[in-house]
Structures are given as structure tokens and as C-alpha cells.
Amino acid sequence: MVDELTGSYVDDLLARGQVRTAGVERALRAVGRHWFVERFWVGEREYECAVEGDDGWAEALGVVYSDQALITRRDDEGQPTSSASQPSVVAMMLEALDLEPGMRVLEIGAGTGYNAALMAEMVGDAGLVTTIDIDADVVAQTRRLLARAGYGAGFLPVGGGGGAG
């Protein structure tokens, strides 16, 4: 199911011209977006994508592999504080970066780690990508989600503690 959704997701981005290069296409096909969103919201609707085979798994995956931003954190009042960017925007940013194997990358704002994993695929080595954030909880989540997706070794998510990371 995930492979089919990933294929359709990338095919759609290709058809709309948001993916133009082989490197971006390969990265998007290689990195499962679902690994980087355990719990998320679209509008006020909450989804979980944490346990394969549960009743909400297929529905959550359908939303994850659509071209929409997913709210991934809310504050105590329920206001969105973080999100997984809309895939078409991610693709356009990656195309603009024009990454090549062997390049070193510094990402400011770790988010879920999805973008860092995509960039690691493009440069060929997770050790060449450093992603930082000022929020210690975000850094911890990024480490956990990168490891869950198989990208834990080599990455350096740094920062936290409320100050400059």
C-alpha cells in the first residue's frame, strides 16, 4: 500500500512539473513521508500514522501522501506550532537547492526530519546533513523519527534548550 501511494504521490508531482530532476524524484521515491508523521492534523481533524494495520492506518496514509501540509505540533491552546510542509513546496525547494552527491548541507529548522532524509538521499550520505532547531522537543522528535525511518546513523540533529542551537 505504501509503495503504491508513494508512487502515485511522486508521479503526481512529476506530472505537475514540481519534480524536474532525477535526484529529487529518486529521493522522494526512497523516503517514506509516513515515517515522519506519527500524529498530525488537517484542519481540526486529527490522524495517527503510528501503528500499521490499525483501523485508521489506510485513511491516515491517504492524507500523508496527498499534496497538503500536515500540522504536526500544537501548543497548549491548540494553535499550530509546527507542520510537515506541503510536498509540492518541498519538491520545489529541493529542486532550487540543486544538491549533488558529496555536498554538505546545513538545515535550520529540523521539523520532522523528512526534509533532512530527502537531502541525505540526494547528497548520498546522512553524515553530510546537519539539521538544527532551537526547540529541544523538536530535536528529540527529529532524532526519533529519523531513526524510525532508518536514517538515524550519521545524522546530527542539534540544538534545543531555548537558545540558539
Residue 145: which residues within 8 A CB-CB, separation 6 or more? 35, 36, 38, 112, 113, 114
Residue 158: which residues within 8 A CB-CB, separation 6 or more? 130, 131, 132, 139, 165
Residues noted as catalytic? 85
* Residue 96 Ramachandran class (φ > 0 left, ψ -120 to 50 alpha, else beta): alpha
